[in-house]
Amino acid sequence: MRHGILAAAAAVVFAAGFKPALGQAGTTVVIASPGEGDVLQGTLGIRGTAMAEAFVSAELAFAYSTNPANVWFTISEIFQPIVDAELGIWDTTGISDGDYILRLRLITADGAGKDAFVSVQVRNYTTASVIVPTASPTSPPLLQIGTPVVVRATPTIVRTSPLTATPLPANTASLTATDVFWGFLRGGLAVAAACVIVGALLVRRRH
């Protein structure tokens, strides 16, 4: 009932020669809700504005974010100007989770059209994608461990002067050749004298 009253009021305003606030001689096509990048679940109302001097109709539709074939699925058709009101009701439970684009297309009497687009995420069964912020330049620097360096000590070679031979003291027991000769001679004489004495004693015993 409320929607019908608003639509009737808009038609009366246009009949009185009212010009839209955003461009007196143009058209106004806006999807006010949901907003860009919003995450949607369940069934929700799409709000916005579809106004023009020569308004004929408007269409609210959706498509996959990647839409090379330009295929759009109609949510609702609008046959009266709408000002900041409900454009249609979208049941997202019947489609798979993913990224979608909403389009509000307005057609005027001269056949011209004007579009408004909003990108949204449908997440009834999965988690919404999250953008992970990158580290700011002010983040504390990471601890960096340098490569260990092995320092080898260089041996010090001490060169000493060669040892000097110390002369030995004179050997007091050393004998000369002459001393050896006289020693043997004295020994021989002593042995001979001993033999003579022993022989004399043996002779005396026999007598």
The 10s digit of each residue's pLDDT in 12-41 is 333 333 333 333 357 899 999 999 999 999
Give per-residue pLDDT as tens, 137-180: 555 555 555 555 554 555 555 555 555 555 555 555 556 777 77
pLDDT at 122: 97
Percent of the residues in the chain that have a pLDDT greater than 90, as a whole number? 46
* Average pLDDT of every residue of the chain: 77
Q: Does residue 7 surpass a pLDDT of 50?
A: no
140 vs 58: CA distance, rounded Å: 54
Superfamily of domain 2-122, CATH level 4: Immunoglobulins (2.60.40.10)
pLDDT at 195: 82
The domain ranges of the chain are 2-122, 177-207
Percent of the residues in the chain that have a pLDDT greater than 70, as a whole number? 63
Consecutive H or E run containing 56: strand 55-64
Q: Which of 6, 19, 3 is nearest to 76 (CA)?
A: 3
pLDDT at 159: 58
Q: Does residue 100 surpass a pLDDT of 90?
A: yes
149 vs 196: CA distance, rounded Å: 97
pLDDT at 168: 55
Q: Which of 21, 68, 71 is nearest to 49 (CA)?
A: 21
100 vs 73: CA distance, rounded Å: 11
Q: Does residue 189 surpass a pLDDT of 50?
A: yes
**Pairing state between β 82-91 and 43-51:** antiparallel
Burial readout 41-73 (b: 16 or more C-beta within 10 A, e: otherwise): eeeeebbbbbbbbebeebbbbbbbeeeeeeebe
Q: Does residue 54 surpass a pLDDT of 90?
A: yes
Scanning the structure block, which residue is given the tokens 């305003």? 13
The pair of three-digit structure tokens given for residue 159, joined into one six-digit string: 């060169």
